[in-house]
Chain A
Amino acid sequence: MYGIIAFFRRFYFSLLFIALEIISIAFVVTNNYYHEAGYFNSSNRIAGTVYRTYSGVTSYFSLQSVNRQLAEENAQLLNAESKTKDTSTYKKGTLTNPFGQQYNFMLAEVIDNSTNLPNNYLTLRAGSEEGIGEGMGVISPAGIVGIVVKTSSRYSVVMSLLHQKTMVSAMFKKSGTFGSLSWDNNKDYRFATLNQIPMSEKIKQGDTIVTSGFSTIFPKGIMVGTVDNFKAIPELYFYTVHIKLSTDFKNIRYVYVVNTIEKIEKDSLERAAQNALNDKVK
């Protein structure tokens, strides 16, 4: 017994160090695998308030570019409306695309954003009270932005497309050939990589890449970017395509959070099935 106390007294500094390191690494690992875990993220009240105040000051500097973006988007919407002339598909903030999927778009203000880290996040000033939930897609007028990973009542954290773990299913607009889009260069916020495009695809520089809509996170046909260059991997019979992203990640002030109505249905169905199964087990 005396020996143990003597041991602790001698090595308490190293032991405390090891304990704190284990706690830190446990945080890193759990946070990597379970999105629900952890309160220490920028959706909590302290970080949210600091970012909101900061954004309140700096937002004035970007008013001009935000205005321009909004004007451009207005013009696009007007064009789209004049083309379809069929207003029956638009009802109260809900949009039905030609494939029968329905989406809700919620506007949110970006109060924090980064582009130069290996794993980038955005913080939105809108949370579960506004109907934002984890797993929803986030888009800007110019293209896709990321996926919501954490929400509190008033703020939410978005895993940017500029994150090592983000994977989005994207396709060539002209042919529908799809692959998985990821940000694997870790350095340049303007480019991402589209992997596993079969060599049968005739790729040209400047081809448009859009979301495929295979997951329920993003609607089909949301702009991703254009082909910058591509490289063949002959042994796998695949192309690796470098995409110039259409979203200017340094300059995002307002985004839309996409809620797939189909997803709600699917999720509630899955939950009901799970519950029924649990009841049966009991």
Chain B
Amino acid sequence: MVEVGKNILRFSFFILLQVTIIRHLDLGSYFNPFLFVGAILMLPIRINKTLVLIIAFATGLIIDMFYNTMGMNAAACTFMAFCRPRVLKVFAPAGDYNGDATATVNSMGIRWMISYAGALIFIHHLVLFYLETFSLHDFFTTLLKVILSGVSTLILFLITQSLLFRNP
């Protein structure tokens, strides 16, 4: 029960941070961090994957509401949640995850975090940015946006973790 409350708090924190502060960072059109995906990334590793799918869809819809991008974030987050079990499997440590492992730097180490978060953030941004442009017209411009925004999301995510979620 405590765990559920913690997760709800974390989601509220990430969503509010995204729509009030990150959205107004204004680093130019190539750097659009979507830090709120961090809330989905930080769900417990052993959580039911169907639940992740539904949570991601709902979170995406809430962000869409604030960004006026109806359905785009929902699609991107759902896709990310769909890929999550596979990514977890690929980057699993020798002898699989411990029973109480959480998706934090403290628990899993910085290298694991960069590869796990990096892969999923890239997947999310890829779907989102191409849906947003809705064409392959500026293919490479959009790809550059995906990469640069993805890197900025990852950096912000790592900073947030080191500042606020030090205790596992």
Given contact pairs A17-B78, A26-B71, A47-B65, A116 touches B49 in the complex (Cβ within 8 A): no
A114 located at the interface, meaning its Cβ lies under 8 Å from any Cβ of chain B in the complex? yes
Instruction: Evaluate contact between A117 and B132: CB separation under 8 angstroms.
Output: yes
B-binding segment of A37-45, A68-76, A80-88, A198-206: A37-45
**Do B66 and A50 touch (CB < 8 A)?**
yes
User: For B71, what are the chain A residues with a Cβ–Cβ distance below 8 Å?
Assistant: 23-28, 31
Given contacts A186-B138, A187-B141, contact A41 B26 (CB under 8 A): no
**A92 → chain B closest CB, angstroms:** 34
Distance of A75 from chain B, by nearest CB (Å): 29
Which residue of chain B has the shortest Cβ distance to A250 in the bound complex? B26
B42 at interface (Cβ–Cβ under 8 A)?
no
Which residues of B lie under 8 Å from residue A117 when comparing CB positions? 29, 32, 67, 69, 132
Known contacts A44-B65, A50-B66; decide if A24 and B138 are in contact (CB<8 Å): no
CB of B59 to closest CB in A, whole Å: 12
Query: A26 to nearest B CB, angstroms?
Result: 7
Closest Cβ–Cβ distance, residue A146 to chain B (whole Å)? 12
Residue in A closest to B76 when the chains form the complex, CB atoms: A24
Interface residue count for A (Cβ, 8 Å)?
A: 40
Looking at the complex, which one of A13, A32, A40, A189 makes contact with B61 (CB distance below 8 Å)? A40
Is A157's CB within 8 Å of the partner chain B? Answer: yes
CB atoms of A12 and B50 under 8 A apart: yes
- Closest chain B CB from A71 CB (angstroms): 26
Total A-B contacts with CB atoms under 8 angstroms apart = 106
* Chain B interface helix/strand/loop/mixed: helix
The answer, among B16, B26, B50, B75, for a CB contact under 8 Å with A13, is: B50
Could you say which interface size class chain B belongs to?
A: 35 or more
State the CA gap A16–B65 with chains docked (Å).
22
User: How far apart are the CA atoms of A173 and B131 in the complex, in Å?
Assistant: 37
Is B95 in contact with chain A by the CB < 8 A criterion? no
Is B75 a contact of A24 with CB atoms below 8 Å? yes
Docked pose: A21 CA to B54 CA in angstroms: 11
Q: Please indicate the chain B residues that have their CB under 8 angstroms from the CB of A25 in the complex.
A: 71, 75
Q: B29 touching A186 by the CB < 8 A rule?
A: yes
A40 CA / B69 CA spacing, docked (Å): 9
B 21-33 binary contact with A (CB < 8 Å = 1; else 0) = 0011011111110
Residue numbers of A with Cβ under 8 A of B are 12-14, 16-17, 20-21, 23-28, 31-32, 38, 40-42, 44, 46-47, 50-51, 54, 58, 114-119, 121, 157, 164, 186-189, 250
